[in-house]
Amino acid sequence: MAERRVTVGWAEGLHARPASIFVRAATAAGMPVTIAKPGGVPVNAASMLAVLGLGAKSGEEIVLSSDADGAEPALDRLARLVAEGLEELPETV
């Protein structure tokens, strides 16, 4: 299983607009991706309600993971999106 640990870079954390950006990017990855707080229960990263339910705040660490083939580049892009608090998914890492 591929995994990335990343610190939330959005000032507002993974709430409302940033969560929406993240969920769209996770859906666009085209593979199952989960998100969790360290030691927490992983939830579907493509679910807005699940992502909002994490309550991840700015500066907190989250864990992105996937067991799909070719998950490494997708997780790298999602990790960069979260860490840098970007407005859209980067095309390349």
Place of tokens 């999602």: 78
DSSP calls for 15-81: SHHHHHHHHHHHHHTTS--EEE-TTS--EETT-HHHHHHH-PPTT-EEEEEE-STTHHHHHHHHHHH
pTM over 0.95: no
Cα–Cα distance, 68 to 54 (Å, whole number): 23
Tens-of-pLDDT digits for all 93 residues of the chain? 999 999 999 999 999 999 999 999 999 999 999 999 999 999 999 999 999 999 999 999 999 999 999 999 999 999 999 999 988 766 654
For the domain bounded by 2-84, which CATH number is listed? 3.30.1340.10
Looking at 15, 24, 43, 58, which residue is catalytic? 15
Taking the domains of the chain in order of start, what are their residue ranges?
2-84
CA quadruple 20, 75, 62, 49: dihedral sign: positive
Please confirm, yes or no, whether 73 is among the known catalytic residues: no
